[in-house]
């Protein structure tokens, strides 16, 4: 069995839903669980409707009406305008949305729980449409409610999965998954222990897919792959909007993906890897609109692989803090203070290293650093721009990378197992960054 997840743009129009259906049929020989995001833009619109429910009810209702028309039109197109009875399902969800938004207006305030109680309809609608379409085509798919399976705490709008209780729900309903059929379920949505609807945070459907994979496997169902279907052909070596020759990575390790998402690359929802890694289920990132391409495989095994350089990312607005050890031996105090500060503020630690002479910290800052540097004269503080080169066992390439760094006037900051950090004073222009990308991958691709 496999788990397939389709993002919002894959279910954005009737035409793309037809493509989704093809991808499902081509890939589900041994049964599958198909998770969907909401139709693209729907979650944003539902949030906007909730925001306006108190201050501007008519505008809020207007947004919902437009969403209703949009969803109805998709269904019309998919079913050749023949299926009036199917419309009742979609319209009944919208009736509930109207009713709730009116109630928020009367109450005059909105809670986080209220957001989830509306936002989940996005995924409910997209899965209902796919289910209706499958019936229209005379396929025997099943539709389940993910809220009956994924249990969370009550931190509405960004709830944490309660794996123990979720696993119990999977165990209770295991039969549904053992029939080698195709099961449609919603990404992103869940419920708390009292049964109230919760969601896993924006973009959380990727995470739902790996959570499903883990919980199914835990309950004895063999999941051979988790497929994340999107509108690009896999994970790129660099941001393709900037780097002209960015290429699709064929295989990448889970630790590289973890680094990349930590460093801010838009690869997958940040929590996604962990459940798949725990369950040792590979993830494949694929393109709904070019299903013949093989995409990117994220390898979860810990087996030694051949060293590779896979990607490069530029991280702006960083600072380098060097604390001399020989002036004063309070450098650990300062490190502690800085790391504490990074928890309290929007500083993100990227790298640190300790030598006998100094402690080096590289932090990304999203606003001005309010650390009193003057107070600590033995601190060297420098604003920098970081370049991270990520690959498996990347130190095998250190000589080659240092040589290139010299050509581009980049300083070597340090490395971890799968990442080499370089720096420049100023951000590399797009042309320079393109040149750097091409130079790094000229021998490796
Ligand atoms: N529909 C949700 C969102 O837009 C979840 C997802 O797309 O993954 O955030
Ligand atoms: Mg979405």
pLDDT < 50 positions in the chain? none
pLDDT of residue 375: 61
pLDDT of residue 444: 57
| Closest residue to atom 5 of ligand 1, CA basis | 203
Element (H, E) at 385: strand 379-392
What is the number of the ligand closest to the CA of 187?
1
Q: How many other C-beta atoms lie within 10 A of the C-beta of residue 82? A: 9
Non-local (6+) Cβ contacts of 313 within 8 A are 238, 239, 260, 263, 264, 265, 387, 388, 390
Task: Report the atom number in ligand 1 closest to the C-alpha of 44.
Answer: 4
Task: Report the atom number in ligand 1 closest to the C-alpha of 204.
Answer: 8
Considering only CA atoms, give the Rg of the chain.
Answer: 25
Query: Cα dist. 100→14, 48, 104, 120, 155 in Å?
Result: 28, 14, 6, 13, 20
pTM comes to 0.92
- State which of 5, 45, 205 you would mutate to test the pocket of ligand 1, scoring each by most atoms of that ligand within 8 A of its C-beta: 205
Pocket of ligand 1 (CB under 6 A): 8, 37-38, 43, 122, 187-188, 202-205
Distance 222 CA to ligand 1 centre (A): 27
130-140: burial string, b at 16+ Cβ within 10 Å, e else:
bbbbbeeeeee
Distance 209 CA to ligand 1 centre (A): 12
List the one residue out of 56, 66, 68 whose CA is nearest residue 94.
Answer: 68
Domains along the chain with CATH numbers: 2-231 (3.40.1160.10), 308-441 (3.30.2130.10)
Alpha-carbon torsion, ordered 164, 169, 170, 172, to 10 deg: 130
- State which of 150, 202, 231 you would mutate to test the pocket of ligand 1, scoring each by most atoms of that ligand within 8 A of its C-beta: 202
3-class secondary-structure state, position 106: helix
pLDDT of residue 377: 66
DSSP structure class, residue 295? -
- Helices assigned H by DSSP within 224-372: 254-263, 273-279, 331-344
pLDDT of residue 58: 97
pLDDT of residue 381: 86
Name 309's bridge partners. Answer: 391
pLDDT of residue 156: 98
- Helices assigned H by DSSP within 219-371: 254-263, 273-279, 331-344
Q: How far apart are CA 54 and CA 363, in angstroms?
A: 41
Beta strands in 187-307 (DSSP E): 189-192, 197-199, 225-230, 251-253, 283-287, 296-299
Q: Rounded to the nearest 10 degrees, what angle do helices 121-136 and 57-78 cross at?
A: 20
Q: β-strands 379-392, 411-416: how paired? A: unpaired
């Amino acid at each position: 069995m496999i788990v397939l997840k389709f993002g919002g743009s894959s279910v954005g129009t009737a035409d793309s839903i037809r493509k989704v259906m093809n991808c499902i049929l081509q890939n589900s020989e041994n049964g599958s669980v198909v998770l969907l995001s909401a139709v693209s833009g729907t979650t944003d619109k539902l949030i906007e409707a909730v925001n306006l429910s108190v201050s501007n009810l008519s505008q809020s209702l207007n947004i919902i009406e437009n969403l209703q028309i949009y969803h109805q039109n998709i269904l019309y197109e998919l079913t050749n305008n023949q299926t009036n009875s199917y419309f009742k399902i979609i319209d009944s969800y919208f009736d509930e949305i109207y009713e709730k938004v009116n109630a928020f207006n009367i109450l005059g305030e909105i809670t986080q729980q209220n957001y989830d109680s509306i936002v989940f309809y996005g995924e409910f609608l997209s899965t209902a449409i796919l289910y209706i379409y499958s019936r229209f085509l005379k396929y025997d798919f099943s539709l389940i409610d993910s809220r009956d399976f994924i249990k969370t705490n009550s931190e509405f709008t960004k709830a944490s999965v309660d794996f123990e209780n979720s696993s119990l729900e999977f165990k209770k309903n295991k039969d549904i998954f053992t029939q080698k059929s195709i099961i449609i379920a919603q990404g992103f949505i869940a419920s708390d222990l009292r049964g109230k609807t919760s969601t896993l945070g924006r973009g959380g459907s990727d995470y739902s897919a790996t959570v499903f994979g883990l919980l199914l496997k835990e309950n004895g169902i063999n999941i051979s792959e988790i497929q994340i279907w999107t509108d690009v052909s896999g994970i790129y070596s660099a941001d393709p909007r900037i780097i002209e020759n960015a290429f699709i990575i064929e295989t990448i390790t889970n630790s590289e993906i973890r680094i990349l998402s930590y460093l801010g690359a838009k690869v997958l929802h940040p929590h996604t890897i962990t459940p798949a890694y725990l369950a040792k289920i590979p993830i494949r990132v694929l393109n709904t609109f070019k299903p013949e391409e093989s995409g990117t495989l994220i390898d979860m095994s810990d087996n030694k692989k051949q060293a590779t350089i896979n990607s490069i990312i530029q991280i702006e607005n960083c600072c380098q803090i060097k604390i001399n050890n020989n002036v004063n031996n309070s450098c650990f105090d300062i490190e502690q203070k800085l790391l504490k500060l990074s928890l309290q503020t929007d500083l993100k630690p990227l790298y640190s290293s300790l030598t006998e002479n100094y402690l080096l910290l590289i932090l990304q800052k999203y606003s001005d650093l309010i650390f009193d540097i003057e107070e600590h004269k033995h601190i060297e503080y420098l604003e920098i721009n970081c370049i991270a080169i990520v690959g498996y066992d990347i130190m095998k390439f250190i000589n080659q990378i240092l040589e290139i760094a010299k050509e581009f006037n980049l300083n070597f900051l340090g490395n971890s197992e799968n990442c080499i950090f370089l720096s420049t004073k100023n951000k590399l222009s797009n042309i320079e960054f393109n040149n750097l990308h091409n130079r790094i991958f000229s021998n490796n691709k």
